[in-house]
Amino acid sequence: MDENVNQFFLLVVRLGRFTLEDRNTVKWIQENFGEGALKYSLVLFTGGDELKTPVEEFLRKSRDLQEFINSCGGGYHVFNNREKNNRTQVTELLDKIETVLFTMQGYHHTTMMIQQVQRKIQAEEERKREEAEREIRTEEENKRQEITYFSVLVGSIGVIITVLIAVIFGKHKIQMNEMEIRREEERKREEAEREIRTEEERKREAERELKRRGETEQRGEKQRGG
């Protein structure tokens, strides 16, 4: 599977009826979409109204369900089938999916952004180098012409003086161009690092929001179970 293609899987399982087919679903997805395909997925349990204990306690007692959830990224949601007109549980499910998608898209966006910035920096550095080399070659050619001209006018002493001036000026020009290139490279790197840090902070905030919602849901389910 192409790493830049966003894939999200919602796996629906009825509580109390976890079958071999459900277990094999994970294996089938991994075989057809890659080992990391379920990194961004969510398990939707239906039949929550049939449980006589809180869903957390029910899941703790089932190693198979725990392994199933963990293999699907660790996220899950529970539907109460008797409350079909309750839009809240649908809204909460969509919120969870949206948060996972935001995290996934943020990750891929960051990866592509880093690659684009790196290519931009490399292209800019190459352009600066080529420009500096052209300027140096042009300057050297001009100085060679000046050396020849002054040699004819002032003789051997003038030749020595002119050559020394040309060498000193040429070295100074090279040093100035190199300093300019280094300053530009440093500015580009700092700009890229700022963009990357901003994108990573957005991803961390999405993960914190997902965790807060999960904790809120668990507290709500415990209260309903109590």
d(CA 51, CA 31): 33
pLDDT at 112 over 50: yes
Instruction: Give the pLDDT mean for 177-200.
Output: 78
Beta-sheet pairing, 41-46 with 76-78 = parallel
Q: Evaluate if pTM is beyond 0.85.
A: no
Confidence band of 19 (pLDDT split at 50, 70, 90) = confident
**Residue 1 confidence (pLDDT):** 44
Among the residue ranges 4-18, 57-71, 76-90, 109-123, the one predicted with the least confidence is 109-123
The pairs formed by 58-62 with CB atoms below 8 angstroms and a separation of 24 or more are: 58/15, 62/18
pLDDT band at 180 (very low <50, low <70, confident <90, very high): confident
111 band by pLDDT with thresholds 50, 70 and 90: low
Cα dihedral angle (52, 58, 61, 64), rounded to 10 degrees? 130
- Above 70 in pLDDT, residue 185? yes
Tell me what pLDDT residue 91 has.
87
| Cα–Cα dist 27/102, whole Å | 25
Q: How confident is the model at residue 104 (pLDDT cuts 50, 70, 90)?
A: low
- Determine the pLDDT at residue 169: 56
Residue 154 has pLDDT above 60, yes or no: no
Q: What is the pLDDT of residue 26?
A: 81
